[in-house]
Structure 1
Amino acid sequence: MGHPQDLKGFGEEIGDYKFENWLDWFIHVRSPFEAYKAQPTYILSEWMVLTVAAISLCHAFYVGGRWKYHWLGIWVHGVTTEMIAFAMPDIDSYWHSQTSIMLLGRRLPLHITMLYPVFMYHAAYMVAHLKLPRWAEPMAAGLVEVLVDIPYDITAVKFAHWTWHDTDPNIFDRHYWVPWNSYYFHLTFGTAFTFALHFFRRKITGTDDKGVVSTPGKEILCAVLAGLCGMPGGVLQFIFLYHPLHDTFGIHTENCVIIIISLYVLIVWAADRMAPMGSRKQPGETFHWSALIIAFNMIFHHGLYLWMVLFKNPEEEVSIGLHEPTGNCSQTSDVYTAFGM
């Protein structure tokens, strides 16, 4: 990287950023080469996510069944979650650095909307191959999503791909500077989305079998409803476990995360011990080559962050964009949780 002083916007502080028009607010595109000069690892991460998401969408169409609708529902879930987070001050607690394509007033990078399929679609497809009882799949999908997320969460925040609110009590407890609630979020929201998708498929189409496809209208309706209900379902899991333990009894968030992970692991393990007939590999049974696409995507995803840890330096990254506003540290503001506290 060249001198940071040569970067456009370096050292400037704009308190009230003005947009040219609504289109400039909705979407902003800049040269990826200019973005690479400021944050090379961030641009590589951005285009890796976009690439893996595109490959996963092609995979969903290739394998057929309901997978393309599953992908759609995940994308709706991701966009809904991000937009609500930006709109509600009590959970507006992170600021992304600037990538090649930014949406919604420079707050939402395009690739973040595709990050949800990268995490959740691959988790769901891998869990489907376990052939667990249907009631255990939501928890299994949430657990695998956390495994996919961990290297991203820890590495990307270290390289200033985004910053977290410094003093928000809900994300104050950290693990390698990643809020423990981030892991809780991925587990519970992933679980809630999968549960909602199965529920609406049973109610609207009569079956949640992945190989049985109903009419496009019904399938899209199920996907959209699941996408809209994933966040409320995840919040419910915060209300019944995290908020009472953390807000009422002052228990560290790490313990809340360990409790819910242990509970879901126990459920999935018990389900695996009661797996239905035919769930284990049968003599002569082979896997379809399309599973290699999922494996390639996961190697590509994890490999990039391993490469960043081994060969890149956070000191070479310059985050130019929106950040947490600075203010008088002696002043406080109320933060209200979903538990009403």
Structure 2
Amino acid sequence: MSLRRRLITAALLTVPLMDVTIALALVEQWRFPGWELLCVLLAIPVATWAAWPFHRAAWRTLQNRSVSMDTLVSIGIITSFSWALISMAAGIETSGGVWLGFGEVPDGANALYLDVAAGLTTFQLAGRYFETRSRRRAGDVLGALSALGAREARRRHDDTEAIVPVEELRAGDIIIVRPGETIAVDGQVIEGTASLDTGAMTGESLYRTVGPGDDVIGGSISADGILAIEATRVGAHTQLAQMAAIAEQAQIRKAQVQHLVDAVVRVFVPVVLALTVLVALIWLLVGAGASTAVTNGISVLIIACPCALGLATPTALMVGVGRGALLGVLVKGQ
């Protein structure tokens, strides 16, 4: 919910901010007194409150003497926003530049950097929001897998039957399963004959007929008969519970490719930061102005921020494992 509010707020402020900064920065005749202040007021909530998840994550990784893609995003937002404020306050002009084929940018177009900070924040928030939603849906899939099991069972004791929660069942209990009911335990049939629907557990489309002496697994459904089953495994020890646990562990545990991505990011982020500084220094050494040098350095930083390498891999793995669980494919190792 917090991410959605931040994304909506950022989008509602970024769209008019981009329109105003681009139009007024490029068309000098349309500017009015205080237009740059208006742009700053629109950008402040986006670069601070809306971007806070990235700033917080970057600070935490820095405290652990590490870096992540959030570090790059946070630095990109702060740098572009700060440079816009510095340029406007110090009167550093950007004349001589060309913007997307519109021609030479007139003096006083420093507010253009504000929409860079806001746009970067909005796009990154959108990616983070959809990633979080995908993770939540993957978790729902695991919940659906766990929901295949019964919540109650009919336990027989001294020729009487009582419906009890599955948490009260113990190995050796006798469970009565009537047509249409789900078997709550793994066990062995001691009385009765029935056709079982085991599709949810085994993927088999045909019913399996069982009788005395046959083993059955929890999550199967009796189609047409009454069974008396002696429980051998209950609760977390049933095959269904183990399947759900394996799927959950596969989602939590990092795959080898994700470890590779983490290793690449640990190198990628410092390299991008070093290149940012190097590009700015090279432009200064060849005689370019401070504005041109810093602008080109920031461009390197911003371009590297939306790198999908550190964003898409965890989501793809988690959604894939969750979807596989729903289709009956369990991934024990990755």
TM range (shorter): under 0.3
Structure holding more strand per residue: 2
Structure with more relative contact order (C-alpha pairs < 8 Å, separation 6 or more): 1
